[in-house]
Structure 1
Amino acid sequence: MTFNPLEHRGIPLDRQLRTWRELDVDPIDPDHADPYTRCRIITMNGIEVEALMFSHQFARNCPDLDVKRQLAEVRYIEQQQQKAVNWLLPGVSSPLETTIAYEQVAVDLTAWVARMEPDPYLKQAYEFGVLEDFDHLYRYANLYEMIQRRKAEKIVDDLTEVIPGRPTKYHHRHPHDNVREPYDRAAAAPISKLHALTIMSAEQQTMNFYMNVGPQYMEPIARQLYQEIGLIEEEHVTHYESLVDPGETWWERLVNHEYNECYLYHSFMETESDPRIKAIWELHLNMELEHLRLACDLMRANDDREPEEVVAPELPAPVTFEPNKQYLRELLDTQIDLTTLGTGYVQDAHERFEALQDAIMGGEKPPSEVVVDLNRTEAGRDYRHSTEGEHPVPSLRRSGVTR
């Protein structure tokens, strides 16, 4: 059944304010909740944070006081939404357990988007990034076993494998080579715009999370690993945000943000396994429908365009968290040896890549290698969890997409 958010009126804005009691949501049970319920929570937190940051940036660049007041009113409601969503995460989970869940989001959300993306260049961007998040999951899983004596499989279940991806030490690239070419806002499929905004938002939230939780650890290797992967998340945000056409107007971007929130809340309402959490997704969808309507009115008044010119007439197929094991193994077999050069991808290391590697490594192993070595010393082997047997690192093969 199709759903066009432009045709639906949501809850009037003056009825969306929630009391403290209504905001005091009960967190999920980390031992019994569906791991993908936690993934949906983490995703929507990132989406809400991006919406808030965008609204603040818009307000700082907008001279119209009436527009700034409307942005502020909607933004306050979205702050409440963000609090309700993020507070669903259980306080009993350690930052490292939440980190492993963040990387499960990065792996299975990005893999799903890559599978669904119609543009080959954008698809390659997601495929390139997901193999790096896949390896981050493996590195954090080794840290988790070493300092908390627990297995990451208890968090990700059998839904996501924990095996090496493209080695984290090779993720450090010259900043110039993290910039991609943007889609063309006049020609890109609406789903491509939603994909880019979704993955950018998720990676941005991961970057922010690592920046804040990393120094909370006392163990030197934990602090070091968060520093290293936190720097790579900066690269990933640069990688994904550059896919968005900078020629989009502020009004167009506002509509895209609100439409994407409707899309994701609707998707998760349709696919959520927990009835209590499903009700929150439905409530927030009905709030976002009104936010979208207000954004569309601003676009008509200030951009002299109809929203139908920039968004799809109906929501695409729901974003779905599901296992992507075979897809990821195919990428490991064909793309593990890629790096970036300019706005394209190459197999062979190049001068700029090697110069950055030499400069940042300083002749020493990076934390992402040290953590595995330390866990091997303590446990007699590195930690990995495979549901389909061992998967050795594939031999180098020619693979690449340039543009």
Structure 2
Amino acid sequence: MTFNPLRERGIPLDQQVRNWSELDVMPIDPDHADPYTRCRVITMNGIETEAIFFSHHMARHCPDLETKQQLARVRYIEAQQQKAVNWLLPGVASVLETTIAYEQVAVDLTAWVARMEPDSYLKQAYQFGVLEDFDHLYRYANLFEMIEHRKAETIVDRLTEVMPGRPTYLQHRDPMDNVREPYNRAAAAPLSKLHALTIMSAEQQTMNFYMNTGPMYMEPIARQLYQEIGLVEEEHVTHYESLMDPGETWWERLLLHEYNECYLYHSFMETESDRRVKAIWELHLNMELEHLRLAAELFKKHDDRDPEQVVGDRLPAPVTFEPNKEYIREILSTQIDYTTLGTGYVQEAHERFQRMQEKILGGERSPSEVVIDDNRHKSGEEYRLEIEGPHPMPSLRVHR
């Protein structure tokens, strides 16, 4: 059955404001909830946060008072949605526990997008990034064991493996080499546009989270690790945002944001295992249908085009959180030694890469390496969660 959100009617905007009791949602149970329910919550918080940021930026560039007022009305509802979604996360979960869940999102959402992406250049961008987030999960899992004396498998529930990816210290590149070529707005598949917006939003959320939570720890190694990985997440946001065509108009971008929210809420409503959370996805979908209608009207008025020219006439197959162990192992076996050069990828470490390594590391071991050594010393061995088979791990050829 096809679903075209452009032809559906949602809840009228003036009926969408919720009171405190309606916004005060009961959080999920951290010990019994499906880990992928938590992943869906984290994903939608990132999507809603990006929608709010984008609306603010658009308003700052918009001279028309009436349009700015409409953006403000919709944005307030988006802010309520963001609060309801993010407040589903349990307060009893530590920052580090939530961090591991963030990285599980980064691994399994990016891997799924890479598998489904029809454009080979964009697919390569997601495959490149997922190996780095995979390594972040491994580093934080060792910090989690060392500081909180708990295993990351209590969070990821063996759905996602925890083992080395592309080593984090090798992820510090010259900033210019983090910029990719954008898709062509006139030729790219609608799904490609939604993928780019989704992963950029998720990575942006992670970058912001680490920037704000990193200093909350007293342990020096924790503060250092958040600082290092937080810098890599900035690289990732640059990497993914550059995939989007800068020629898209503000109205086109607004349309894509609202359509993507409909797509993801519909996807998660279709795949959610928790009935109570599923009801929230359904409610928010019905709100977003009205937001999309309003955005489509602005798009038709200012760009004088049919919205279906940009987003298509039906939703793609639902975004699905599911294990990607075999897929990630396949990429690990062939791409772990990649780095970037200009807008492309190479396997040999080049001069700019080496220069950046020397600047950022200064001959010292990075926090992402120290945390593994410290956990081996404290716990007797490093923490890994390998579900099956040996782990292939060739090394990047760096001459030091």
When normalised by structure 2's length, the TM-score is: 0.98
Which is worse superposed, 38-47 or 374-383? 374-383
Give me the whole-angstrom Cα distance separating, in 1, the residues matched to 2:18 and 2:3.
27
Displacement after TM superposition at 1:363 (Å):
1.1
Q: CA deviation at 1:270?
A: 0.1
The residue that corresponds to 1:228 in the other structure is: 228
> Which deviations, in whole Å up to 9, do the C-alpha atoms of 1:146-199 show, x marking residues without a partner?
000000000000100001000000000000000000000000000000000000
Which residue identity does 1:311 align to in structure 2?
Answer: V
> 2:344: which partner in 1?
344
- Name 1:251's counterpart in structure 2: 251
- How far does the alpha carbon of each residue in 1:277-303 deviate from its partner, in whole angstroms, 9 at most, with x for none? 000000000000000000001111112
How far does residue 312 in structure 1 lie from its aligned partner after superposition? 1.4
1:121 aligns with 2:118: no
SS in 2 for 1:310: helix
SS of 2:371's partner is: helix
**What corresponds to 2:240 in structure 1?**
240
Q: Which residue of 2 aligns with 1:296?
A: 296
Query: SS where residue 30 of structure 1 aligns?
Result: coil
CA distance in 2, matches of 1:148, 1:229: 19
1:384 alignment partner, SS class: coil
Maintained 8 Å contact 2:333/2:392: no
Match of 2:381 in 1: 381
Using the alignment, how far apart are the partners of 2:394 and 2:344 within structure 1?
A: 22
Q: CA deviation at 1:362?
A: 1.1
Post-superposition shift, 1:347?
A: 0.1
CA-to-aligned-CA distance 1:327-347 (integer Å, 9 cap, x gap): 000000000000000000000
**Secondary structure of 1:187's aligned partner:** coil
| Cross-structure match for 1:265 | 265
Check if 1:72 corresponds to 2:43. Answer: no
CA distance in 1, matches of 2:307, 2:69: 21
What's the CA shift string for 1:218-269, capped at 9, x where partnerless?
A: 0000000000000000000000000000000000000000000000000000
The match for 2:208 is: 208
For residues 63-111 of structure 1, give each alpha carbon's deviation from its aligned partner in whole angstroms, at most 9, with x where no partner exists.
0000000000000000000000000000000000000000000000000
Match of 2:135 in 1: 135
Unaligned runs of 5+ residues in structure 1 are 398-403
Alignment of 1:13-28 (within 5 A): 13-28=13-28
Amino acid aligned to 2:309: E
What value does the CA root-mean-square deviation take over the aligned residues? 0.9
Normalised to the residue count of structure 1, the TM-score between the two structures is 0.98
1:401 is matched with none
In structure 1, C-alpha distance between the alignment counterparts of 2:385 and 2:305, rounded to whole Å: 51
Aligned-partner Cα distance in 1 for 2:312–2:153: 38
Match status 1:391 vs 2:380? no
- CA shift for structure 1 position 392: 4.1
- CA shift, 1:394, in A, is 3.1
How far 1:389 moved relative to its partner? 3.4
Q: How many residues align?
A: 397
Asked whether the equivalents of residues 338 and 396 of structure 2 are also in contact (C-alpha less than 8 Å), the reply is no
CA distance in structure 2 between the aligned counterparts of 1:276 and 1:98, rounded to whole angstroms: 21
Counterpart in the other structure of 2:101: 101
Aligned to 2:152: 152
Give the Cα separation in 1 of the matches to 2:33 and 2:241: 32
Relative to structure 1, the CA distance from residue 71 to residue 44 in structure 2 (aligned partners, 3 Å threshold; closer, same or farther) is same
Look up the equivalent residue of 1:227 and give its one-letter code: Q
Structure 1 residue 306 displacement after superposition: 1.6
Query: Is the CA contact (8 Å cut-off) linking 2:348 and 2:396 kept in structure 1?
Result: no
CA distance in 1, matches of 2:333, 2:259: 36
Whole-angstrom distance in 2 between the partners of 1:215 and 1:268: 33
SS of structure 1 residue aligned to 2:88: coil
Letter of the aligned partner of 2:12 in structure 1?
A: P
Residue in 1 that maps onto 2:278: 278
- Runs of 4+ in structure 1 off by over 2 angstroms are 394-397
User: Aligned partners of 1:155, 1:251: CA distance in 2, in Å?
Assistant: 40
Provide the identity percentage. 80
Structure 1: distance between partners of 2:395 and 2:9: 55
Q: Which amino acid aligns with 1:155?
A: I
Q: Which runs of 5+ in 2 are unaligned?
A: none
The 3-state SS of whatever aligns with 1:345 is: strand
Aligned pairs (5 A) from 1:289-368: 289-368=289-368
2:173 aligned partner, one-letter code:
R
